[in-house]
Amino acid sequence: MKKLVNYFLQGLVFIAPLAITGYIIYLAFDVTDQFSRDLLSQFFDVRIPGAGLLMLIGFLILIGYLGQTIVARPLIVLIQKFIARTPILRDIYSALKDFIAAFVGKERKFNIPVLVLVNPVSNLEKLGFLTEEDLQILDEKEKVAVYFPHSYNFSGELFIVPRNQVRILDLPASEVMKFVVSGGVSGLGRHESPVH
């Protein structure tokens, strides 16, 4: 019974951020779609399918622009301080923010695909992404952090591995991610270079 409860809680921790994010996007789309429908009906007697989606995309671009300007900085800091003081919201927000930033932010983390020798005896290797080379804080000067995404999932594992067991791949990170997440179903060429 304890295992079932543990699995339930792990499932909840995994699904909750995705469900909340999906619901927020759905609400944003619904609100902008209704707003665009009302706005267009005042001026024109026409209904444009997808106008809400276009408005939502425009709104997100505007928020992104304002988020990078001086005007919005104080507001963002205020919102982030509020979130930082709210325990569950803080954890969900920071995890989502870090995860999204790792893919599309200025400091992308999944852009160095690597091949790691997991078992030298059987020559077993695993595809992953080099996320951190400086592990002095862990007192591990000869190791690096490698993230291994799971196939058909939005989760993965982080391993600290000896530097000499990691080979950087000369491949586009997006292709390697697609290959790993698809469980190896998508095709992939092999060009390797040693880790510096």
pLDDT digits over 110-152, tens only? 778 888 888 888 888 888 888 778 877 777 788 888 888 776 5
Domain check: are 25 and 56 in the same one? Answer: yes
Domain check: are 72 and 148 in the same one? Answer: no
Tokens found for residue 156 = 């993965």
Domain check: are 6 and 97 in the same one? Answer: yes
- Domain final residue, candidates 71, 104, 137: 104
Model confidence over 91-120: pLDDT tens digits? 777 767 766 666 665 666 677 888 888 888
Closest C-alpha among 194, 184, 14 to residue 92: 14
Tokens found for residue 16 = 């909750």
Specify the pTM: 0.42
Closest C-alpha among 13, 170, 27, 121 to residue 5: 13
Domain check: are 90 and 36 in the same one? Answer: yes
- Residue 150 DSSP symbol: P
Domain check: are 35 and 80 in the same one? Answer: yes
Domain span holding position 119? 113-194
- Domain final residue, candidates 57, 84, 104: 104
- φ and ψ at residue 153, rounded to 5 degrees: -155, 165
> Which CA distances in Å does 161 have to 15, 127, 176?
29, 13, 19
Counting the structural domains of the chain, the total is 2
Closest C-alpha among 114, 119, 118 to residue 146: 114
